[in-house]
Chain A
Amino acid sequence: MGRKILLIEDDRETASYLSKGLGQEGHSVEQANNGQDGLFRATDGSFDLIILDRMLPVLDGVSVLKALRAARIDTPVLILSALASVGDRIEGLECGSDDYLTKPFSFAELLARVNALLRRREARVDPAEHRLTVGDLEIDPLSRTVKRAGKKLDLKPREYLLLEYFARNEGRVVTRTMLLEQVWDYHFDPGTNVIDVHVSRLRRKLDEGFEKPLLHTVRGAGYMLAA
């Protein structure tokens, strides 16, 4: 189902590239090329997501975000920025954004994050699910137990958190940096394949001995949990 996305970005090339890509995914994208215009359009609160560049003419991204939050508009905001240091990312997240992506980025990474934010918006409307199910996989967030085809899986705490995050984004691509940020809460880029190692461990426990794999690798993007 297509959603309404507001793209506030002054770089024309990036804007048209993103708008085309998101349009192909079925979303309707509205564009603003400066902070003031963007803020004006965003204030009616009718958008499902705002993609906000941090450095904008007239009014910068952080000011737009602060003004929106001060006006009690809680549309999810994804900040795009060329400011890539850990301090910049934390500052961007602390001023009220829901996600922060540094330029340059792959479209797959952006799309995965956009979908996760839209999914979160959906979940906010629905009452909290007590049980997460993906195919024959059952997760009970209260007791933190996982069963597949009725058989209990023995997971370490971090493996459980990883699986729960996958399950909450069922059928959607989740990237390595999203996992690092959401499951471990680290905002730096590790040089090694540490996330892959954890995912492959989880996969061994989850899929070994079952005919149909649940945890898929999506080439060039990340992973996906799907029945």
Chain B
Amino acid sequence: MPTTLRIALLAGLLALLSNLAVIGFIYLRTHDEAVATVHRQVIEQGKVLADVYRSGGAKALDDAIDDTMTYADPQTVIALIKPDRTELKGNLETVRASLLAAPEGYRTALIRLRGQTTPREAALVVHHLPTGQWLVSGRIAGEGFAIRDTLERSLFIAVLVAGLLGLLCGIITAHYVGSRISGIARVANRISPRDLSQRIPVSRAGDAFDRLAAQINAMLDRISALMEELRLLTDSLAHDLRSPVSRLRSAAHAAAEASDPAEQEELLGSVIRQADSLMRILTAVLEISRSESFTGRKQFNWFDVGELAAELAEMYDPVADERGASLEYDRPSRPVPLFGHRQLLAQAVSNLVENAIRYGSTGGEIRVHVEPGERQIRVEVGDRGPGIPADRRDEARRRFGRLDSSRSDEGAGLGLALAEAIAHLHEGKLKLADNGPGLLTILELPVHAARAA
């Protein structure tokens, strides 16, 4: 069954049910009311006649019956019946035995009044008088029951109309919903890897469909941004791998051409070194994407950042020394606990220190500093080298973003990008600042986020 039809039927059914509930309530109330009114009137009339007999005797009752027959409306039933069940007085055409068989009191029965052709239903009260006579009084209830009949008929029509209206309403609703949804589906259909520019039109109504459309549009924005990023990254990866690959190629070529065995061995060594550096680039790219997708979180542990920095400072001290710079580290007096990935943070800090040594050792002093804080831990590496001007800092942290492209040393331009990715893994940030003079790189690592993880 198509959804549109199902929605239409459901809406119709709901309209029918709600109408039935209202009309049914009215029916029950009015029906009860009509019957109760007749019942009350009949009891009252019977009581009045019985009182008349009790106070005035047979004579008074006769007069009362005469009066009733003269003045009362044609629906009134009145009769005095002899013990032999023939009518003494009144307007009954025939007296049926069944009428008097039951004990005294209220009942309904089919009777025929004098001058009428068909028997009709009446509400009656029967009294057995001490003289052995029966006093029957009441009303033809036809009027009350006729109201009921009319009501029932009109109720039936009302239900029928309600059902039809409901169905119509359902069809309109289904059509509306269907057209809104197929509008969205049409756009979704047009979206392909080649064209992500399509967006679903959002009306001003601000209803659920508009919210859906807005959500889908936001999702499309994100997908196209990601696709663009992926394309840029793949492009730049392919582009930036060209230079190490071409270096590798020329080294291999030179080794193949060399005639002197010693020279050839030397050149083959360089081939292996170039291949290793290519592998290093690929590993760094992998590490960046792993960190950006938060895969390392399983391996988080508590450790002392102060101790980690001390270890790295000690590790790089001789390297800085060889380049003519001193590496200073003032270890905080107390442990600086952090819940994080010790190995990756070690790599991030070592990248910053290596950068400082590589580009800032001319300034003579490299300083590593750990600043413990209530909400975040700052790991700072500062040098006194040439630094990076403020407008080029974003470029420096981009993948493969090497500021001086003429340099052909081992750096692939991934150091800062990897440090930043590792900071992101810890929900932190990498900041580049002016060390006046020199470059100050700062890893800001929040304590709260790590604790919650």
Chain A interface (Cβ within 8 Å of chain B)?
84-87, 90-91, 102, 104, 106, 158, 184, 186-194, 197-198, 201, 219-220
Within the complex, which residue of A87, A91, A158, A191 is in contact with B354, where a contact is CB–CB below 8 Å?
A191
Chain A: CB-nearest residue to B316: A194
Task: Please name 15 further chain A to chain B contacts, defined as beta carbons within 8 Å, in addition to the given A87-B298, A198-B315, sorted by A numbering.
Answer: A85-B290, A86-B287, A86-B343, A86-B347, A87-B290, A87-B295, A87-B341, A184-B315, A186-B346, A187-B343, A188-B287, A192-B410, A194-B315, A194-B318, A197-B319
Within the complex, which residue of A91, A106, A186 is in contact with B272, where a contact is CB–CB below 8 Å?
A106
Within the complex, which residue of B269, B316, B322, B343 is in contact with A90, where a contact is CB–CB below 8 Å?
B343
Q: Shortest beta-carbon distance, A179 to chain B, in Å?
A: 11
Q: Give the size range of B's interface with the partner.
A: 20 to 34
Chain B contacts with A in 330-363, Cβ cutoff 8 A: 341, 343-344, 346-347, 350-351, 354, 357-358
Within the complex, which residue of B282, B322, B344, B354 is in contact with A190, where a contact is CB–CB below 8 Å?
B354
- On whether the beta carbons of B350 and A87 are closer than 8 Å, the reply is no
A194-B286 Cα distance, complex, nearest whole Å: 23
Report B-chain residues with C-beta under 8 Å of the C-beta of A187: 343
Report A-chain residues with C-beta under 8 Å of the C-beta of B222: none
Q: Shortest beta-carbon distance, B271 to chain A, in Å?
A: 11
**Chain A at the B interface: mostly helix, strand, loop or mixed?**
loop
Q: Shortest beta-carbon distance, B252 to chain A, in Å?
A: 15
- 8 A-B pairs with least C-beta separation: A188-B347, A87-B296, A197-B318, A84-B283, A86-B343, A197-B319, A85-B290, A194-B319
Is B57 located at the chain interface by the 8 A CB criterion? no
A to B CB contacts below 8 Å, 27 in the list: A84-B286, A85-B287, A85-B290, A86-B343, A87-B295, A87-B341, A90-B343, A102-B283, A104-B279, A158-B315, A184-B311, A186-B343, A186-B346, A186-B347, A188-B287, A188-B343, A188-B344, A188-B347, A188-B350, A189-B283, A190-B350, A191-B280, A191-B411, A192-B357, A193-B319, A197-B319, A198-B315
Is B44 located at the chain interface by the 8 A CB criterion? no
Within the complex, which residue of B290, B341, B344, B410 is in contact with A191, where a contact is CB–CB below 8 Å?
B410
Is B299 located at the chain interface by the 8 A CB criterion? yes
A186-B286 Cα distance, complex, nearest whole Å: 18
- On whether the beta carbons of A192 and B314 are closer than 8 Å, the reply is no
Report A-chain residues with C-beta under 8 Å of the C-beta of B346: 186, 188
**Chain B at the A interface: mostly helix, strand, loop or mixed?**
helix
Report B-chain residues with C-beta under 8 Å of the C-beta of A104: 279
Report A-chain residues with C-beta under 8 Å of the C-beta of B347: 86, 186, 188
- On whether the beta carbons of A85 and B311 are closer than 8 Å, the reply is no
Within the complex, which residue of A158, A189, A194 is in contact with B280, where a contact is CB–CB below 8 Å?
A189
Report B-chain residues with C-beta under 8 Å of the C-beta of A191: 280, 351, 354, 410-411, 415
A27-B356 Cα distance, complex, nearest whole Å: 46
Report A-chain residues with C-beta under 8 Å of the C-beta of B296: 86-87
- On whether the beta carbons of B411 and A201 are closer than 8 Å, the reply is no
A188-B353 Cα distance, complex, nearest whole Å: 14
A192-B351 Cα distance, complex, nearest whole Å: 10
Q: Shortest beta-carbon distance, B210 to chain A, in Å?
A: 43
- What sequence of 0s and 1s flags, for each residue 258-289 of chain B, a beta carbon within 8 Å of any chain A beta carbon? 00000000000100100000011011001100
Chain A: CB-nearest residue to B344: A86
Q: Shortest beta-carbon distance, B153 to chain A, in Å?
A: 79
Report A-chain residues with C-beta under 8 Å of the C-beta of B322: 197
Chain B contacts with A in 199-258, Cβ cutoff 8 A: none
Report B-chain residues with C-beta under 8 Å of the C-beta of A190: 350, 354
Report A-chain residues with C-beta under 8 Å of the C-beta of B350: 186, 188, 190
- What sequence of 0s and 1s flags, for each residue 282-309 of chain B, a beta carbon within 8 Å of any chain A beta carbon? 1100110010000110110000000000
Residue in B269, B287, B351 whose Cβ sees the most chain A Cβ within 10 Å: B287
Chain B: CB-nearest residue to A159: B318
Chain A: CB-nearest residue to B412: A191
Report B-chain residues with C-beta under 8 Å of the C-beta of A102: 283
- On whether the beta carbons of A90 and B318 are closer than 8 Å, the reply is no
A194-B410 Cα distance, complex, nearest whole Å: 13
